[in-house]
């Protein structure tokens, strides 16, 4: 295993627990995927001095998820700690499912598609997490941020409104 560098406590890519990844992805109906892409491209931009705009890649995340997964899959630093064993085409599956979920009018199907989409990205996040743990076994995950809490509050409010709307009389009337 390579020696730890000058930034031994620095994370490789977005280092979040799988449980938080799924919770945020499902509660936000897929918007967390854009944040995930933003943070991973921001990491690459800072580390490799790339002339990219991570925010734009996040806005157009369905077009850049493939590139994010490919960059993670073939990242030399990650592969020093752990060889990757996932296909970067998982990003394409996520993007396709997010596009379909955006146009399907039935909420239950939309939720199922978002969940499946985030399940597709678990091998990618798991790989990032395992490489970070091998790099520095004592490093902790990124803490919950104010942004996470705000997204959870607004997402829960959204879900309450949706559920109340569904169970209210007249929802299923034509």
With tokens 């939309």, the residue in question is 110
pLDDT tens by residue, 3-18: 434 455 588 999 999 9
Lowest-confidence range among 26-40, 58-72, 134-148? 134-148
Helix (H, G, I), strand (E, B) or coil at 80: helix
Above pLDDT 70, what percent of the chain?
Answer: 92
Instruction: Say whether pLDDT at 24 is over 80.
Output: yes
95 burial level (CB within 10 Å; 0-12, 13-18, 19+): buried
64 and 76 in contact (C-beta within 8 Å)?
A: no
36 burial level (CB within 10 Å; 0-12, 13-18, 19+): buried
Task: Give the C-alpha separation, 69 to 123, whole Å.
Answer: 10
Supply 122's token pair: 């678990």
The pLDDT score that the predictor gives to residue 174 is 57
The pLDDT score that the predictor gives to residue 144 is 87
What mean pLDDT is reported for the chain? 89
pLDDT tens by residue, 64-112: 999 999 999 999 999 999 999 999 899 999 999 999 999 998 888 988 9
pLDDT tens by residue, 82-91: 999 999 899 9
pLDDT bucket at 173, cuts 50 / 70 / 90:
low
More confident residue, 52 or 110: 52
The pLDDT score that the predictor gives to residue 6 is 45
pTM for this entry? 0.85
Residue 151: CB atoms within 10 A of its CB come to: 17
pLDDT tens by residue, 113-145: 999 999 999 999 999 999 999 999 988 887 888
Of 52, 28, 33, 32, the closest CA to residue 41 belongs to: 52
């Amino acid at each position: 295993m390579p020696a730890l560098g000058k930034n031994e406590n620095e994370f490789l890519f977005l280092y979040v627990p799988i449980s938080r990844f799924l919770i945020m992805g499902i509660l936000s109906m897929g918007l967390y995927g854009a944040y995930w892409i933003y943070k991973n491209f921001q990491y690459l931009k800072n580390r490799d001095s790339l002339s990219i705009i991570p925010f734009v890649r996040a806005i157009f995340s369905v077009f850049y998820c493939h590139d994010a997964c490919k960059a993670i899959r073939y990242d030399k630093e990650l592969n020093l700690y752990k060889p990757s064993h996932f296909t970067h085409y998982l990003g394409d599956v996520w993007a396709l499912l997010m596009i379909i979920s955006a146009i399907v009018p039935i909420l239950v199907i939309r939720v199922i598609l978002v969940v499946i989409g985030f399940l597709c990205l678990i091998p990618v996040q798991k790989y990032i997490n395992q490489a970070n743990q091998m790099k520095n076994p004592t490093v902790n995950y990124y803490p919950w941020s104010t942004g996470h809490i705000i997204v959870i509050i607004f997402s829960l409010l959204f879900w309450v409104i949706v559920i109340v709307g569904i169970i209210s009389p007249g929802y299923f009337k034509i």
